[in-house]
Amino acid sequence: METEFAVCTQEQIDAMLQRLQTIRRNIAEACNEAGRSADEVTLMAVTKTVAPDLINAAVDAGVNVLGENRVQEFLSKKDFYRPGAEVQFIGHLQTNKVKQIIDKVTLIHSVDSVHLAEAVSKAAQQQGITMPVLLEVNIGGEISKSGTAPEAVRTLLEHVLTLPNIRVDGLMTIPPPTTDAAEQDAVFARMQEIYQEMQKITPMHVLSMGMSGDYAAAVRRGATLVRIGSGLFGARLYPPQNSVV
């Protein structure tokens, strides 16, 4: 079965390790600018379309948190990951697939509705566990993206807090794409404000925002977890439709 995945070269591993050094340096510099410790920020490796052996090379280099976008891809790859790797689910999650991952991930980033929260709660009850989640916020109000509206976060949070076997650990967002530094800062500042307001309702410790193109800006605005895929592994190579991954 292992032959179903692409095998990475030493050259690809070396390039990934060089990018990792740059990412860590940028995070440390952004933390310094914000008066924070770099230890406050978790670097997540986003693994969509990435071969397990390249992912494991990142784990061996100390990147211990992996972010999965797709249920089926995750299920096909999970047995090849290093045993010590922590896997979190960051993609859009359909309610009918919650049961497939509920006992296999440590955090679900993408709870964006009462319906999904209730499905997570029910599946966690059946497994006898409490599932930590993040509420996904559509900070840019983009029709093409999932996530609850900023003005509806409080209502969603208050409902989820009434459900059994589910715990809200924080918030997550995918901001509108932009290379404008001022626009990036404004979006992350707004998200930081929402996060601080929600912390007044219930204890939270995770603010998941920032990806390959904007993670430094996110860190300066309080991100505790940044999700980096192509910035770490290089450009994604999407497999044929009938491939395993």
User: What would the pLDDT profile of 142-174 be if each residue is shown by its tens digit?
Assistant: 777 889 999 999 999 999 999 999 999 999 999
Look at residue 183 and give its three-state secondary structure: helix
Backbone angles phi, psi at 143, to 5 degrees: -65, -30
Backbone angles phi, psi at 201, to 5 degrees: -90, -40
- How does the average pLDDT of the chain come out, rounded? 93
Q: Which amino acid is at 64?
A: N
Backbone angles phi, psi at 45, to 5 degrees: -90, 115
User: What is the C-alpha separation between 105 and 96, in angstroms, rounded?
Assistant: 16
Place of tokens 């999932």: 146
Look at residue 106 and give its three-state secondary structure: coil
How many other C-beta atoms can be found within 10 angstroms of the C-beta atom of residue 7? 11
Distance, C-alpha 17 to centroid of its chain? 20
pTM: 0.92
Say which residues have a Cβ less than 8 Å from residue 61's Cβ, sequence separation at least 6. Answer: 17, 20
- Which pLDDT belongs to residue 116? 98
- Which pLDDT belongs to residue 11? 95
> Please, what's the b/e burial string for 156-186 (b: 16 or more CB within 10 A of its CB; e: otherwise)?
bbeebeebebbebbbbbbbbeeeeeeebbee
- Which pLDDT belongs to residue 243? 46
- Which pLDDT belongs to residue 237? 65
Low-confidence ranges of the chain (pLDDT < 50): 1-3, 242-245
Say which residues have a Cβ less than 8 Å from residue 167's Cβ, sequence separation at least 6. Answer: 130, 131, 132, 133
